[in-house]
Amino acid sequence: MKRFRMPTAYTILFSIIVIVAILTWFVPAGQYNYVDPEASKKEPIPGTFHQVEQNPQGFKAIVTAPVEGFYDAVDVALFVIVIGGFLGVIMKTGAIDAGIASVTKSLKGREKWMIPILMILFGLGGTSFGMAEETIAFYPLLLPVFIAAGYDSLTAVGVILLGAGVGVLGSTVNPFATGVASGFAGLSIGVGIGLRLIILIVSELAAILYVMRYAEKVKKNPSKSIVHYQKAENEKHFLHAEGTNAFPELTGRRRLILALFAITFIIMVFGVIPFSDINITWIPTLAWWFGELTALFFVSAVVIGLVAGLGEEELIKSFVAGARDLLGVALIIGISRGITIVMNAGSITDTVLNVGERALAGAGGNSIAFILFSYLFYLPMSFLIPSTSGLATLTMPIMAPLAGFAGVASHLVITSYQSASGIVNLITPTSAVVMGGLAIARVSYEKWIRFVWKLLIILMLIIIAALIIGIIL
């Protein structure tokens, strides 16, 4: 008997399109009046829902939904593709690999301090560009170093997987989580960045202390290691292999590339923060959207490629290869948006909103209850739809207006979504980042859960507290 395998995000999302199309035949069609019907982000007026003529969606609507969805979300999809090209070029230069390898080498003999420093570096990668798959390359480098220093393989996994994963959980400007979600909520990516920064700092600090405490315990008494029975075998396997994984040297040129990489994200943050909305008038509000951001990363990719000395052909190949790696994400965005297309065409989107509005009215419009519900809602949804971009595209057109009915700022829903998705992505067995890293470190999935479950509870409490503070303030 074959073991059950979770369908891919493509299959799940297309199945939802079919289900939604069927529902348009039975769910009463309805519509709200809107503050501005012509606005790109339509704001429904509470209490104005009324039924309209049924408009059921058939086979043609189902098969064309992903295409129309891609057209509707082309700005976000193109942004993702260009970001992929940008990352393809930066990874081709070897600058990020060289930077982290240089830090590791300079701290040899002071391995205790490698834990916070490396976790901060990985966290910065996670919060800025969603660093995940890129971390796989660092397991062969760090496993021998930590094992030689008297720690165990779980310590190395914790540094890499939790460092980057908690950074993604606390995404500030991560284009694949915060960016996509903000786009479909009709907000600038800079709105709510303060609360997300607090979640990032507190959560990363909690993860660092958690890993350091475990590492010190293992160093003092190796029998306390969760994988202590592998100690001799791991020393033979990883220490024998030390030095076989060559990383590029951190040259002056690569230092300049890292500086340009950081400057790109600084410019991005400056471009998207609505300073005028927070009463800062001495700094101009650029009000950049996906068009400007796409151009920024495209220009930066070209500049970095030229600084790296890449020839025209090599630069284009690196850009196209990186863009190809994220083409699947762009397609998922199109398919996800297709669900909204079918719902809107069948006039049942507002019906769903009306159900939510009535539920909120029955609960007294409690904004704290709503934001906690949002967070708990996104935990199982993140398991069902492992694509962060797909999940944002699918749910934000519904959740953002619901937040308005509850008197909750839309950016808090975005924060609850990315935080829940970030928690799940630390442990989901469908993630190549999780399972690949554990396989390289020779750590079983059961041992990883045993190691990390207490931290997950701590992180969830931090996030819930932050969301409540966001409501109160």
pLDDT digits (tens, 9 = 90+) for 287-309: 788 889 899 999 999 999 999 99
Q: Which residues contact 414 (CB under 8 A, 6 or more apart)?
A: 178, 181, 182, 185, 187, 192, 392, 396
When pLDDT is averaged across residues 53-76 and rounded to a whole number, the result is 91
Examine residue 106 and state whether it is found in any structural domain, yes or no: yes
Question: What's the pLDDT at 242?
Answer: 46
Range of the domain at 144: 75-325
Q: Which pLDDT band holds residue 244 (cuts at 50, 70, 90)?
A: very low
Measure CA of the first residue to CA of the last residue in the chain; give whole Å. Answer: 55
Q: Which residue has the higher pLDDT, 413 or 387?
A: 413
Examine residue 9 and state whether it is found in any structural domain, yes or no: no
Question: What's the pLDDT at 145?
Answer: 82
pLDDT at 445 exceeding the cut of 60: yes
Examine residue 102 and state whether it is found in any structural domain, yes or no: yes
How many folded domains does the chain comprise? 1
When pLDDT is averaged across residues 129-153 and rounded to a whole number, the result is 83
Strands (E), 136-266: none
When pLDDT is averaged across residues 89-103 and rounded to a whole number, the result is 87
Examine residue 263 and state whether it is found in any structural domain, yes or no: yes
Cross-strand bridge partners of residue 51: 30
Question: pLDDT tens digit string along 347-376?
Answer: 988 888 888 777 766 655 678 989 998 998
Examine residue 194 and state whether it is found in any structural domain, yes or no: yes
Question: pLDDT tens digit string along 388-420?
Answer: 888 888 888 888 888 888 889 999 999 999 999
Q: Which pLDDT band holds residue 1 (cuts at 50, 70, 90)?
A: very low
Question: pLDDT tens digit string along 331-346?
Answer: 888 888 898 899 989 9
Q: How far apart are CA 131 and CA 129, in angstroms?
A: 6
Question: What's the pLDDT at 437?
Answer: 87
When pLDDT is averaged across residues 31-52 and rounded to a whole number, the result is 80
pLDDT at 24 exceeding the cut of 80: yes
Range in 80-84, 97-101, 208-212 the model is least confident about: 97-101
Question: What's the pLDDT at 360?
Answer: 63
Question: What's the pLDDT at 163?
Answer: 95
pLDDT at 425 exceeding the cut of 60: yes
pLDDT at 241 exceeding the cut of 70: no
When pLDDT is averaged across residues 258-269 and rounded to a whole number, the result is 89
Question: What's the pLDDT at 361?
Answer: 63
Question: What's the pLDDT at 459?
Answer: 97
pTM across the whole model: 0.80
When pLDDT is averaged across residues 234-258 and rounded to a whole number, the result is 76
Question: What's the pLDDT at 429?
Answer: 79
Question: What's the pLDDT at 451?
Answer: 96
CA distances from 67 to 63, 73, 291, 341, 434 (A): 8, 10, 20, 10, 32
Q: Which residues contact 120 (CB under 8 A, 6 or more apart)?
A: 163, 204, 208
What share of the chain in percent tops pLDDT 70? Answer: 94
pLDDT at 272 exceeding the cut of 60: yes
Q: How far apart are CA 350 and CA 49, in angstroms?
A: 8
Examine residue 405 and state whether it is found in any structural domain, yes or no: no
When pLDDT is averaged across residues 130-153 and rounded to a whole number, the result is 83
Average pLDDT in the chain: 87
Examine residue 154 and state whether it is found in any structural domain, yes or no: yes
Examine residue 428 and state whether it is found in any structural domain, yes or no: no
Q: Which residue has the higher pLDDT, 121 or 3?
A: 121
What share of the chain in percent tops pLDDT 90? Answer: 41
Helix segments in 406-444, DSSP class H: 410-424, 432-441
